[in-house]
C-alpha cells in the first residue's frame, strides 16, 4: 500500500477534474480525497497498491478531455487509511 500527495497545475478547475479523478480512483480501488485549491490547482491524496497509484499518476498528467495539465507535483507520505475516495467541496460559512 502506497500513499501519494499529488498537486495538479494548469487548467484543471471547471473541467470536471475532480469528478473524473474520483471515477478513476473508484475503478482502481484507490482511497483518498480530491479538492480544488484557491490557487487554481487540484489537490489529491491517493492510497492504493503500486500499480493502481501509478496508473492514477499517469492519468493526472493528462486529466479529463478539457483539462490542460501544466505540471504535476508528487510526494510519497504515510498511509492515512482512508475508507473511500471522496470529493472535498468548499465549506460555506
Q: Which residues are catalytic?
A: 18, 36
SS (H, E, C) the chain: CEEEEEEEEEECCCCCHHHHHHHHHHHCCCEEEEEECCCCCEEEEEEECHHHHHHHHHHHCCCCCCCEEEEEEEEECCCCCCCCEEEECCCCC
Amino acid at each position: 500500500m502506497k500513499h501519494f500527495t499529488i498537486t495538479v497545475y494548469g487548467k484543471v478547475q471547471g473541467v470536471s477534474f475532480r469528478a473524473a479523478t474520483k471515477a478513476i480512483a473508484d475503478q482502481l480501488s484507490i482511497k483518498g480525497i480530491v479538492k480544488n485549491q484557491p490557487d487554481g490547482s487540484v489537490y489529491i491524496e491517493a492510497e492504493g497498491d503500486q500499480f493502481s497509484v501509478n496508473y492514477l499518476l499517469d492519468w493526472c498528467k493528462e486529466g479529463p478531455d478539457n483539462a490542460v495539465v501544466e505540471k504535476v507535483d508528487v510526494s510519497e507520505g504515510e498511509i492515512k487509511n482512508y475508507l473511500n475516495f471522496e470529493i472535498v467541496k468548499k465549506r460555506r460559512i
